[in-house]
Structure 1
């Protein structure tokens, strides 16, 4: 497996393992799994906010020595060299700011912050401090997506005219929710666009570099009232469950569609139309397996199937892969989210109305 990327702090310790704290016990589990695959990543702490029991279960599963309810104290203690933030977006800025101030390597889950202003502050601090930084846009690490990127870089489809991207999932299908924070602007910073659309915005920028901006956008709340899965009561839902955004970079257009309420349907699909052909990539967001279909009038037709892929962004980060996403990339993707919000996604329409009993 790739060796972890070198930091000044690591070199000063003679090249020992990069001591890390993972903050967050939800998607933090995925970060722990990725890090367990990387030689040189030594996770010393798991940070939690409320569920100490779950944190200890993860610690036992991944062989982590300590759990802590005070990640900031660990960051400031000098006991770690790197911080991986996988907690809700509203908490990102405080942890990332502290980690940058301590001169640590910093990794953030998406979105980079709860709003564009916060993301901008984080980028400015990290660049001024010169610390290694990254956002875990894991689809960049997927073999099939890299094949599509290489195809476009070589110009095999000619000039790109249009991209059509869809990400459908069902983790919030139905009238209950395990994550009340996801349904408030203050804590989530976005709904399906923040959960999923930010990945597709990054893909647009990565696959076809250019000055992309949102030109039109719509969004809907499917369940305006939900029942909290823990029995704590009714959740009033503000953030979007379904959204569609049109983009342009002046020479090409793109459509981004996301849904987190697609019952029984989980897929990522990207179609790229160029002047010499079309490529369609369809992937399973759970195991990373994918199919890439290429059609061109000038060459043989090609269908390629790719097996399961862990899409481990840390392996690429630790190898200093230039395709890895930085905080600046996270900010750029969030800029497109913000553009969509300004065009109407911040006030999504309601598809399903009525009382919780009717829902």
Structure 2
């Protein structure tokens, strides 16, 4: 974050402190009225500069807070977008993995079915039988019905045979080889030996040479069926191993893809952590800037308060000086008035005293007519009396 104060605001702050210091020194050191006026003006200018700096720093702090809030919103939106993208990628990877496993399973099953069909064809060519696959449950149900239906004619034919000579009686007019071949069921290459129970034998009879040949053929067919079953098992085992190998390769590829995705997710998480660290660093710088702005505002407020205090103190001192000067003037006027009154009283007293003496002198110097006549009579004439004196 760039420093929003700039050199101009720093110069104003320095000028504010200088004016406040000058005003403080002048008010504390000198008592000159002119210097006091200069100190008051400096304090007022420092207060004005303090108001300006406080407003500017407050505006810068609000703008920085708005910018920080906007950056936080952008970062939160970006983080949310990254999380959504990460979840979508995880879901896509999981879906791809499941589809790959499903395709792999389907391919493996298709290969196994193809190999089983091929083995059935080979067994059919070797044995001359049809090894077409049918569901076991449906096949067992059909066999049971066939056995029940075949058992009823056999039981009906065996009932009159108790009173007749012992002869082999077949359930149908077919040769023993056809009966054995058609009646023997199979399940995946295995012959059902219980099918021999459907052949009715009379007591005391022996098998014919044709039946011995059929038994030999069945034994050969059993041997070939066992060999075919072993081959089928070997082929199924090979197919299973191949399927397991293919599955292992697919799982390995899926694990590698998951590891790559995990590494990418970790990289994105590290990048998000780096962004959060950068945001925290920016927030720390913002806090430091706000603290610095608050400190400067506090210093400006303190300087303003100090200037106001100095101004109030200066005004109080000026008022005290004016009151003292007015008191001195009034006292001087009172003293002067008293001195004038005292001088006037003294002059009046002197004038009064001078008038009394003059009257006394006049009274002392005055001669009544009787005394004058008396003196004139005693001295004869005033001239003679004045000469005598």
Which structure's residues are more often strand, by fraction? Answer: 1
- The TM-score with structure 2 as length reference comes to 0.12
Which structure's residues are more often helix, by fraction? Answer: 2
- Select the structure of larger CA radius of gyration: 2
